[in-house]
């Protein structure tokens, strides 16, 4: 038995089938009707008859190797395996009789005769399918003994930091192999040899760590024995209760069972009932949770007058009063607009709502912003203009109905891994894949996946590419005229059609600018437009450009022109980065919008909020993050409240950000660690991890998922309680008893959340907004019949080259991105064993550029831009194209953002992280910035240590 049975955990043995035709059969004299194609095993499970099984699981195609599931079927010879036998009309099946019982016992005897009999000391004891099956078939003796040949001497593979592989326990059921292929899509495992010699191997008989394994854990979950087993269970024993909650890493929003022993988290198991992930996970959510209880957690409030002083631990009340007095005296001296705050896209919706409320109602201005400023703000703008709503249009599952998938500026196998696995599955099933990316990511070509076209464009030329695709659609008559006529505004279409038909947008005209051949562009446009269902998925490679918003509108144009909006398998899908970045935007984090994207200048909207918040609100949009920095350097912005966001590491042009932070008179940082931003702070308020609080996150599909408290907040207060207490100290009263009350207020004031409440979330599991009287169960697919603006609008998308150009001094273009094992600024993943996969950021460059500079993999190289210089280790790789270099930004000492510029999207100020002209040279030591960083970092750590009494 598992630790705790949830209805969704039930295993029907083989996957669900969909068919218009049903068949009726009799199983043990009970009649059942199932869709054609359903296995006998599943049909039996549907009416509660559990046929013994070992190699079957309902997330894997049946395999038929263990034979334990044998049944008798009237009129058929032998005893067929029920997992591989499809149900047929009128079939009569017997699942239990003496002959079947004897057969099953014999099979189990054979298994057990080659299995160590150490159940009492086995880590899977109490949670082992082999043990369960031995019980189910009534095994009482093993006649064969252990003297013959067996596998009991096999060597354990402990190379993976999170799980072990003990071949002595393996029953060769192949579930792990199939999970790695079918569910994860990595194909790292094989069943080598045959018969008795059968053996699971990772890669070419490598260790797990040396193979292609990405440590997603699907094989561990699939394994019916303790062969593949979490080290945390080996160390601490089986958990005893479980709580369903939501991953706090990326925007996929996977549901997990947090399996606990008392208040100790033993393991995170992907929850089958989670509609975003359907029981799958990646290495981060599955295994990288140790940061939550890491010794680096700061759990006492601290204050100091200056960043040149040591921290002083104080009581919560002292910290709140100190911060409130400072903020109020700054406002008295410099004016109401002189302070502001940044909400967190890692915190819950309820917490984010409270922070923006505190700023608008407590600070009395609209100086609130969020990390979406530096990631998906162009999505909000571009989709609102064209489709009328600032969010993606589909469910993740929709990709399984897509025939042509266009991925632009996104690397889902690394940044949104569970969605990446779904996408790869659809491609293996036959969908066409077009990838637009300056790099050859693993989607372009990997095991069983190959893009039909790779548009390996030069950074900064997205808009030229999307325009060329749309040009082909229009000039070759591939548009969906019926859709356009019925769903799109005529005037905007006519204007756009004229604009896009201009020969300057033709593939031939832009081939040189983009670096993509005209033929490839034409083929890609045809592949996409001719597919019955074409879907577009995009990431920060679209938004983080000076034309980020233009590109988002270009994507919407292409979807509209080809009629790919409003049903399963199509749509415009931003792959949003942080776990709750969709939610933080929905909750009114932007300076111009109250929750639900309601503009602050709208009198009726403000009146509604004013009545509930009991305060009068500013009707002018406040400062965006870059404006806050500029105002700070101008001496007119002096106080900031930052919750769960590390702007010192994540925002561009580090020197500028650091100077702005240093100029503040009061910086209040609320976080779980003393992050890079906190090193510039005067007040530190300890935050709480996702395990320590109740609330909700909203993922990239607009899916609102519950976050459930599994342990007490380490510092005594959840983040929402901290914000509430700070607000009360400021003199703006808040008195919520539970996050559900905050959600009730959100629903009252936000039309798209009107029907959301905790009870409905408990009943439904999750809800995709809009959820209101018209859509009481939520809205999985947007714009099915109409758009919020009636008819959709085409937008004119002129390509304007970025000002950031390469020249003789800076001849290469730097672009940035993420890696699977690390997450964002790395504050969480760097404090886990994930460090083993990516202990440092590296600079990737093409062999030609490396050779020109005499650089080899492992060499120390400087990367210099107009903004600054940093130094990294080089990785020479064919993944890059000549002229383009790439790095990640997961380690603060790497200083990737020392190099990036302040160029930004024309509409939203989203920084142009993806294009920086640089020069790369071999060097021997660190950069000046890195030397300063180390010194500053050491000093601040000492200041922390002197407060906490710990060693720095
Ligand atoms: S952990 Fe994931 S990638 Fe690695 S072998 Fe198992 S299923 Fe495959
Ligand atoms: S490792 Fe586990 S899942 Fe894989 S074949 Fe062996 S027993 Fe089956
Ligand atoms: S895909 Fe994203 S949400 Fe899912 S487990 Fe991985 S990091 Fe968490
Ligand atoms: S469960 Fe059917 S053959 Fe193994």
Identify the residue whose C-alpha is closest to ligand 3 atom 6: 282
For residues 756 and 770, give the distance between their C-alpha atoms in angstroms, rounded to a whole number.
9
The tens digit of pLDDT for each residue in 509-542 reads 999 999 999 999 999 999 999 999 999 999 988 8
- Say whether pLDDT at 146 is over 60: no
Cβ(485)–Cβ(479) under 8 Å? no
User: What is the atom index within ligand 3 of the atom nearest the CA of 699?
Assistant: 3
The tens digit of pLDDT for each residue in 813-856 reads 888 887 788 887 778 888 888 889 888 889 999 999 999 999 99
Taking the CA of 218 as reference, the closest ligand is 1
Tell how far the Cα of 180 is from the centroid of ligand 1, in angstroms. Answer: 5
The answer to whether the CB of 200 is under 6 A from ligand 1 is no
The tens digit of pLDDT for each residue in 68-96 reads 999 999 999 999 999 999 999 999 999 99
For residues 727 and 734, give the distance between their C-alpha atoms in angstroms, rounded to a whole number.
7
Cβ(756)–Cβ(695) under 8 Å? no
- Say whether pLDDT at 860 is over 90: yes
Q: Which residues contact 516 (CB under 8 A, 6 or more apart)?
A: 455, 456, 457, 465, 507, 510
Tell how far the Cα of 277 is from the centroid of ligand 3, in angstroms. Answer: 8
Least confident of 149-163, 632-646, 650-664, 873-887: 149-163
pLDDT band at 616 (very low <50, low <70, confident <90, very high): very high
User: What is the atom index within ligand 4 of the atom nearest the CA of 41?
Assistant: 2
The answer to whether the CB of 56 is under 6 A from ligand 4 is yes
Q: Which among 574, 385, 571 is positioned nearest to 492, based on CA atoms?
A: 385
Question: What's the pLDDT at 143?
Answer: 67
Q: How would you write 84-122 as a 3-class SS string?
A: CCECCCCCEEECCCHHHHHHHHHHHHHHHCCCCCCHHHC
The answer to whether the CB of 514 is under 6 A from ligand 4 is no
User: What is the atom index within ligand 4 of the atom nearest the CA of 67?
Assistant: 3
Q: Which among 839, 342, 376 is positioned nearest to 576, based on CA atoms?
A: 376
Strand duo 255-261 + 264-270: pairing: antiparallel
Tell how far the Cα of 165 is from the centroid of ligand 1, in angstroms. Answer: 11
DSSP-assigned states of every residue in 352-387: HHHHHHIIIIII-S--EE-GGGGTTHHHHHHHHHHH
User: What is the atom index within ligand 3 of the atom nearest the CA of 419?
Assistant: 1
The first and second tokens of residue 494, run together, are: 């006519």
Mutate to test the pocket of ligand 1, among 175, 217, 218 (most ligand atoms within 8 A of CB): 218
- Say whether pLDDT at 373 is over 80: no
Mutate to test the pocket of ligand 2, among 54, 166, 172, 218 (most ligand atoms within 8 A of CB): 172
**Cα R_g (the chain), whole angstroms:** 29
For residues 526 and 406, give the distance between their C-alpha atoms in angstroms, rounded to a whole number.
12
The first and second tokens of residue 109, run together, are: 């005897």
pLDDT band at 221 (very low <50, low <70, confident <90, very high): very high
The answer to whether the CB of 67 is under 6 A from ligand 4 is yes
- Say whether pLDDT at 950 is over 70: no
Please tell me the pTM assigned to this model: 0.93
Q: Which residues contact 882 (CB under 8 A, 6 or more apart)?
A: 846, 848, 849
In 388-416, which residue ranges form alpha helices assigned H by DSSP? 412-415
Question: How is residue 878 annotated by DSSP?
Answer: T
Tell how far the Cα of 32 is from the centroid of ligand 4, in angstroms. Answer: 21
Mutate to test the pocket of ligand 3, among 184, 254, 581 (most ligand atoms within 8 A of CB): 254
Protein residues whose CB sits closer than 6 Å to any atom of ligand 3: 247, 249-250, 252-254, 277, 281-282, 284-285, 416-418
Cβ(628)–Cβ(367) under 8 Å? yes
Tell how far the Cα of 224 is from the centroid of ligand 2, in angstroms. Answer: 7
Residue indicated by tokens 């953002």: 897
For residues 826 and 819, give the distance between their C-alpha atoms in angstroms, rounded to a whole number.
10
The answer to whether the CB of 885 is under 6 A from ligand 4 is no
- Say whether pLDDT at 893 is over 90: no
- Say whether pLDDT at 144 is over 70: no
Q: Hey, is 607 helix, strand or coil?
A: helix
Question: How is residue 274 annotated by DSSP?
Answer: -
Taking the CA of 161 as reference, the closest ligand is 1
C-alpha dist (Å) from residue 526 to 393, 426, 531, 796? 23, 19, 8, 22
The average pLDDT across 774-794 equals 94
The first and second tokens of residue 278, run together, are: 């359907």
The answer to whether the CB of 81 is under 6 A from ligand 4 is yes
Taking the CA of 203 as reference, the closest ligand is 1
Residue-averaged pLDDT of the chain: 92
Q: Which residues contact 50 (CB under 8 A, 6 or more apart)?
A: 44, 136
For residues 343 and 347, give the distance between their C-alpha atoms in angstroms, rounded to a whole number.
8
Query: In this prediction, what percent of the chain has a pLDDT beyond 70?
Result: 97
Crossing angle (nearest 10°) for helices 490-501 and 462-475: 100
For residues 657 and 354, give the distance between their C-alpha atoms in angstroms, rounded to a whole number.
26
The tens digit of pLDDT for each residue in 701-749 reads 999 999 999 999 999 999 999 999 999 999 999 999 999 999 999 999 9
C-alpha dist (Å) from residue 184 to 180, 254, 279, 484, 950? 5, 14, 11, 38, 42
User: What is the atom index within ligand 4 of the atom nearest the CA of 82?
Assistant: 2
Tell how far the Cα of 690 is from the centroid of ligand 1, in angstroms. Answer: 26
Taking the CA of 169 as reference, the closest ligand is 2
For residues 815 and 887, give the distance between their C-alpha atoms in angstroms, rounded to a whole number.
7
Identify the residue whose C-alpha is closest to ligand 4 atom 3: 64
Crossing angle (nearest 10°) for helices 518-530 and 507-514: 120
Identify the residue whose C-alpha is closest to ligand 2 atom 2: 223
pLDDT band at 1 (very low <50, low <70, confident <90, very high): very low
The tens digit of pLDDT for each residue in 305-359 reads 999 999 999 999 999 999 999 999 999 999 999 999 999 999 999 999 999 999 9
For residues 216 and 425, give the distance between their C-alpha atoms in angstroms, rounded to a whole number.
15
Q: Which among 312, 308, 542 is positioned nearest to 437, based on CA atoms?
A: 542
Question: What's the pLDDT at 145?
Answer: 60
Tell how far the Cα of 423 is from the centroid of ligand 1, in angstroms. Answer: 17
Tell how far the Cα of 174 is from the centroid of ligand 2, in angstroms. Answer: 5
pLDDT band at 113 (very low <50, low <70, confident <90, very high): confident
Cβ(680)–Cβ(664) under 8 Å? yes
- Say whether pLDDT at 114 is over 80: no
The answer to whether the CB of 413 is under 6 A from ligand 1 is no
The answer to whether the CB of 64 is under 6 A from ligand 4 is yes
The answer to whether the CB of 222 is under 6 A from ligand 1 is no
User: What is the atom index within ligand 1 of the atom nearest the CA of 163?
Assistant: 1
For residues 385 and 595, give the distance between their C-alpha atoms in angstroms, rounded to a whole number.
18
The first and second tokens of residue 353, run together, are: 């709502």
């Amino acid at each position: 038995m598992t630790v705790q049975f949830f209805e969704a955990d039930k295993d029907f043995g083989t996957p669900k089938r969909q068919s218009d035709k049903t068949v009726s059969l009799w199983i043990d004299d009970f009649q059942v009707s199932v869709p054609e194609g359903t296995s006998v095993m599943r049909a039996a499970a549907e009416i509660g008859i559990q046929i013994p099984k070992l190699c079957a699981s309902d997330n894997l195609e049946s395999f038929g190797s263990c034979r334990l599931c044998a049944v008798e079927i009237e009129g058929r010879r032998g005893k067929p395996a029920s997992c591989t036998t499809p149900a047929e009309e009128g079939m009569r099946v017997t699942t239990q009789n003496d002959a079947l019982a004897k057969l099953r016992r014999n099979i189990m005897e054979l298994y057990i005769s080659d299995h160590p009999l150490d159940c009492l000391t086995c880590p899977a004891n109490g949670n082992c399918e082999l043990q369960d099956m031995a019980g189910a078939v009534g095994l009482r003796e093993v006649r064969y003994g252990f003297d013959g040949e067996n596998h009991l001497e096999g060597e354990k593979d402990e190379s993976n930091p999170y799980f072990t592989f003990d071949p002595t326990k393996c029953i060769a059921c192949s579930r792990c192999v199939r999970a790695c292929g079918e569910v994860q899509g990595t194909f790292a495992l094989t069943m080598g040899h045959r018969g008795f010699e059968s053996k699971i191997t990772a890669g070419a008989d490598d260790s797990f760590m040396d193979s292609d394994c990405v440590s997603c854990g699907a094989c561990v979950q699939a394994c019916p024995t303790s062969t593949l087993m979490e080290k945390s269970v080996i160390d601490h024993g089986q958990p005893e209760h479980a709580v369903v909650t939501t991953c706090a890493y990326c925007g996929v929003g996977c549901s997990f069972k947090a399996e606990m022993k008392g208040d100790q988290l033993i393991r995170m198991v992907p929850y089958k009932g989670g509609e975003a992930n359907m029981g799958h996970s990646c290495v981060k959510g599955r295994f990288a949770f140790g940061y939550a209880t890491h010794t680096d957690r700061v759990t006492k409030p601290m204050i100091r007058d200056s960043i040149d002083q040591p921290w002083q631990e104080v009581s919560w009340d002292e910290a709140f009063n100190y911060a409130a007095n400072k903020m109020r005296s700054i406002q008295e001296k410099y004016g109401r607009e002189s302070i502001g705050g940044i909400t967190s896209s890692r915190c819950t919706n309820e917490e984010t709502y409270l922070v923006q409320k505190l700023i608008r109602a407590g600070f009395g201005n609209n100086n609130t912003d969020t990390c979406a400023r530096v990631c998906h703000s162009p999505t909000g703008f571009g989709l609102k203009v064209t489709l009328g709503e600032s969010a993606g249009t589909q469910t993740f599952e929709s990709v399984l109905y897509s025939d042509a998938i266009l991925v632009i500026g996104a690397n889902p196998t690394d940044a949104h891994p569970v969605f990446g696995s779904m996408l790869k599955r659809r491609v293996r099933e036959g969908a066409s894949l077009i990838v637009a990316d300056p790099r050859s990511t693993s989607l372009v070509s990997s095991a069983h996946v190959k893009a039909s076209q790779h548009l390996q464009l030069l950074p900064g030329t997205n808009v030229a590419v999307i325009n060329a695709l749309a040009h082909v659609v229009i000039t070759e008559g591939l548009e969906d005229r019926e859709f356009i006529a019925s769903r799109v505004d005529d005037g905007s279409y006519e204007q756009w059609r004229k604009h896009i038909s201009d020969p300057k947008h033709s593939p031939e005209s832009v081939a040189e600018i983009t670096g993509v051949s005209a033929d490839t562009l034409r083929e890609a446009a045809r592949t996409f437009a001719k597919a019955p269902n074409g879907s577009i998925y995009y990431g920060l490679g679209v938004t983080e450009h000076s034309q980020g918003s233009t590109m988002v509108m270009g994507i919407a144009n292409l979807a509209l022109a080809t009629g790919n909006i409003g049903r399963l398998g199509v749509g415009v899908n931003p792959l949003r980065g942080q776990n709750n970045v969709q939610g933080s935007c929905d909750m009114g984090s932007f300076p111009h919008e109250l929750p639900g994207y309601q503009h602050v200048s709208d009198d009726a909207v403000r009146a509604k909020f004013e009545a509930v918040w009991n305060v009068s609100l500013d009707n002018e949009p406040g400062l965006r993050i870059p404006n806050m920095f500029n105002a700070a350097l101008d001496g007119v912005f002096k106080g900031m409240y930052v919750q769960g966001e590390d702007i010192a590491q994540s925002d561009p042009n580090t020197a500028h950000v650091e100077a702005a932070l240093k100029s503040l008179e009061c910086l209040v940082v609320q976080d779980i660690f003393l992050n890079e931003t906190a090193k510039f702070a005067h007040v530190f308020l300890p935050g709480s991890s996702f395990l320590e609080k109740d609330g909700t996150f909203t993922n990239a599909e607009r899916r609102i998922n519950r976050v459930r408290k599994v342990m007490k907040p380490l510092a005594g207060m959840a983040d929402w309680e901290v914000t509430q207490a700070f607000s009360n100290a400021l003199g703006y009263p808040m008195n919520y008893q539970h996050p559900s009350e905050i959600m009730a207020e959100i629903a009252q004031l936000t039309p798209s959340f009107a029907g959301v409440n905790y009870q409905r979330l408990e009943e439904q599991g999750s809800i995709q907004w809009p959820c209101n009287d018209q859509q009481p169960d939520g809205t999985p697919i947007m714009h099915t019949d109409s758009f919020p603006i009636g008819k959709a609008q085409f937008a004119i998308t002129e390509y304007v080259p970025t000002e950031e150009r390469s020249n003789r001094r800076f001849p290469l273009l730097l672009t940035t991105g993420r890696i699977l094992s690390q997450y964002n600024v790395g504050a969480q993943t760097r404090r886990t064993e994930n460090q083993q996969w990516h202990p440092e950021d590296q600079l990737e460059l093409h062999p030609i550029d490396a050779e020109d500079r005499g650089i080899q993999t492992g060499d120390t190289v400087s990367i210099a831009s107009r903004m600054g210089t940093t130094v990294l280790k080089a990785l020479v790789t064919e993944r890059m194209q000549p002229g383009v270099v790439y790095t990640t930004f997961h380690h603060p000492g790497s200083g990737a953002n020392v190099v990036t510029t302040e160029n930004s999207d024309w509409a939203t100020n989203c920084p142009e992280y993806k294009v920086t002209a640089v020069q790369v040279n071999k060097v021997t030591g660190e950069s000046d910035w890195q030397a300063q960083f180390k010194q500053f970092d050491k000093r601040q750590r000492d200041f922390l240590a002197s407060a906490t009494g710990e060693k720095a």
